[in-house]
Structure 1
């Protein structure tokens, strides 16, 4: 049976069915300013490679962006390629719908790739129209598969410029049909539309601070909005290593939804905590600054390196193990056990739109089995009276509600802890995200400006 759709935030208007998308950026009247050199071409080729990798398989985007060829590009080229590819992945359903309306027969994939990057530059980036069209046509000329279509590409892009923009967004066209149908059934049409439209919004950067005093002292410098007790949403863009007090280690980057599981907990002074699947370390840092003595484990050496770098920058320590939680041989029990379980990550689509296209329905069932085994493995590691927090950055019921209902049936000595008003205020948690059962279902549109999609269950052992 489908769950009851979460309550919409009070006072929130329903998502518009066809909002107007307009370009307000200035257009260059002088075509000589267009970027037509080899550097511009290289960055656009890299963007196409990133997009194609994301569509081909789960994790493909990260593989290409970490590869040698991509890293041979200059910093500005890499930045342009990432920005362009992510824009296309946010809008690919919309862009392909427009291509289908402008052609009698859908052109080959290689041609669609060029049209996508051309449209994204014209309507969503500070790229002069002439440069966007010219470089896209030049790319078409370089390949035998796309050369015969260069006239079509030129005509479609110039025609769209004359029309003045991409005027219509149908929410269901923004995402894969199978996911739209799942979210429609699970959350209802209004919520599904809001979820889809959130994809078009560039996410802000959320930070967590060691203390409220640290946060409040940097509100102005970081152009920040305070959230809850120690969180901040910054309006800044660019390399965060250059932001105020980065090197001083007073804060770290963590989406407000990802910070919520630990925000449910109070003072942990004198307590022990096991952080499972801990890398890149945001929750580990939160647990430490709440006073806990933390054991952090993760099976990925590369991701653990990021955790250790964060510990060093913030000048704190934890007991870190490169281990698989399912086989972690440690007799200790803990006051807090937290597992941010491996999942489909469909809730992270605001920052990683490639997950929508790289994830397949079969992945969800496979990952749900992993989560089931993790929960049963970790339950005995919770002390009597201790806290057990399970969370996933997934919007899929099988990785959240269904998982916890089954766990509670198998483990009668655990019960859900529903957050009270003080906990919600301390964590800056929207009331719309709290279910009647007591778990949290954080949807991206529950917070103004968005947040990652998360499921969180706070349980206590009797």
Structure 2
């Protein structure tokens, strides 16, 4: 009698949407456990999903990072023993709860798509904690809670009011700012202008679908990020845009009439810069180089150094910086900025201008750098913005510092430090 062969039972199918939550888990783990930037980790973490699913995974993680401290407080209130920060159960609960409390996902869908992530683990614990939080009618506070170390650092630097303004600023994604190739596009965009060549949109779902995108009429750029190039004004001379990618400042300078050489060490970021130039029809010479090793052929009329930094000033759009930037990172970046600033200064002709900027809220990456530079280079003078030159006021010291709360009534802006120096003489410091 022939032996009947039987197929092994097929594993149960996972609920629709589980792959997206699994990608979100990988992405959250990359940020919180491995210290990777959210945007940098996105391609690898979401390689198994595409289109809207990738966007959803990003949205889940971005919201979880905005509200991480408060989500953890809800979880901890339901456990006798605190789950380790890196426990998969905690990660799964963060993903499930933020969907219900911030993204309007039905509770049954949120938990059903998360439980497979802890197969072989504490499924009962995850299900129980989630159920207790939801049944108890828990809510998140009106304003997110900053991580304790971040709050303490910013309160010490700028005051408690600024730290509280930062917490309010991460409650929701910020408005969309556009820098215009020319002012003719302002009327075609349904927004408001806070400065010449600028439009702010409070609600824009799809950037490529906006009027003027295909025509290269504008590029996305936070208002604060546009300030460094504004300090160089209308051009005609030669300018080096250092650490230039992804190209917003390069486009500004080219549109203002400068003969621009854009330098950056990252080929992938330079690809975005070239795309922006091609789309807008603007021209610049693009060079891939490490400016610690590279030299221009001759001194130039102006240098704009938007230096690599901790990027804590762009936390509204990149909430991962709140959780992965530590004092050691800030110190490392500050040391690099000192070297870059000293090198860039050598390339400014006598009478020329050097603009130094960082998208950081750390004095070590702004005010301290400027003071050290002025002490080391007596041939450079700080030049404060003239009244009305910028849409924000300079400090009493003569440089520009935007913080949480700057332009709050208009929707705020990123945290930036900008200083403009003029080279007075031909020699270097001894």
Which secondary structure state, in structure 1, belongs to the residue aligned with residue 292 of structure 2? Answer: helix
How many Å separate the matches in 2 of 1:234 and 1:254? Answer: 12
Residue pair 2:75, 2:129 contacting (<8 A) in 1 also: no
Cα gap change, 1:455/1:131 in structure 2, threshold over 3 Å: closer, same or farther? same
Shift in Å, 1:330? 2.2
Question: In structure 2, which of residues 189, 194, 198 is the aligned counterpart of residue 227 of structure 1?
Answer: 194
Identify the range of structure 1 (111-120 vs 332-341) with the bigger mean alpha-carbon deviation.
Answer: 111-120
1:260 equivalent to 2:227? Answer yes
Question: In structure 2, which of residues 61, 73, 80 is the aligned counterpart of residue 104 of structure 1?
Answer: 80
Which secondary structure state, in structure 2, belongs to the residue aligned with residue 193 of structure 1? Answer: helix
1:89 equivalent to 2:65? Answer yes
How many Å separate the matches in 1 of 2:279 and 2:119? Answer: 47
Q: Deviations over 1:160-196 (max 9, x none)?
A: 4x34x22464x6x422x22222111111111111112
State how 1:292-307 maps to structure 2 within 5 Å.
292-307=258-273
Question: In structure 1, which of residues 186, 189, 201 is the aligned counterpart of residue 172 of structure 2?
Answer: 201
Shift in Å, 1:66? 1.6
How many Å separate the matches in 2 of 1:188 and 1:218? Answer: 40
Aligned to 1:118: 96
The structure whose residues are more often helix, as a share, is 1
Residue pair 1:343, 1:364 contacting (<8 A) in 2 also: yes
Structure showing greater radius of gyration is 2
Residue pair 2:74, 2:133 contacting (<8 A) in 1 also: no
1:210 equivalent to 2:210? Answer no
Aligned to 1:53: 30
How many Å separate the matches in 2 of 1:363 and 1:74? Answer: 33
How many Å separate the matches in 1 of 2:129 and 2:224? Answer: 41
State how 1:305-344 maps to structure 2 within 5 Å.
305-344=271-310
Question: In structure 1, which of residues 41, 66, 91 is the aligned counterpart of residue 43 of structure 2?
Answer: 66
Q: Deviations over 1:87-131 (max 9, x none)?
A: 000110111122222322212421111221222111211322332
What TM-score, normalized by structure 2, do the two folds share? 0.90
State how 1:355-374 maps to structure 2 within 5 Å.
355-374=321-340
Shift in Å, 1:63? 4.0
State how 1:418-433 maps to structure 2 within 5 Å.
418-424=384-390, 428-429=391-392, 431=393
Structure 2 residue runs of 5 or longer lacking an equivalent are: 1-12, 425-430
Aligned to 1:436: 396
Residue pair 1:118, 1:157 contacting (<8 A) in 2 also: no
Residue pair 1:207, 1:233 contacting (<8 A) in 2 also: yes
Cα RMSD (Å) of the superposition? 1.8
1:44 equivalent to 2:21? Answer yes
How many Å separate the matches in 1 of 2:307 and 2:242? Answer: 8
Residue pair 1:293, 1:318 contacting (<8 A) in 2 also: yes
Aligned to 2:106: 128
Shift in Å, 1:331? 3.1
Shift in Å, 1:404? 0.6
Residue pair 2:100, 2:107 contacting (<8 A) in 1 also: yes
Residue pair 1:58, 1:355 contacting (<8 A) in 2 also: no
Give the paired residue count: 408
Residue pair 1:389, 1:458 contacting (<8 A) in 2 also: yes
Residue pair 2:16, 2:113 contacting (<8 A) in 1 also: no
Residue pair 1:417, 1:459 contacting (<8 A) in 2 also: yes
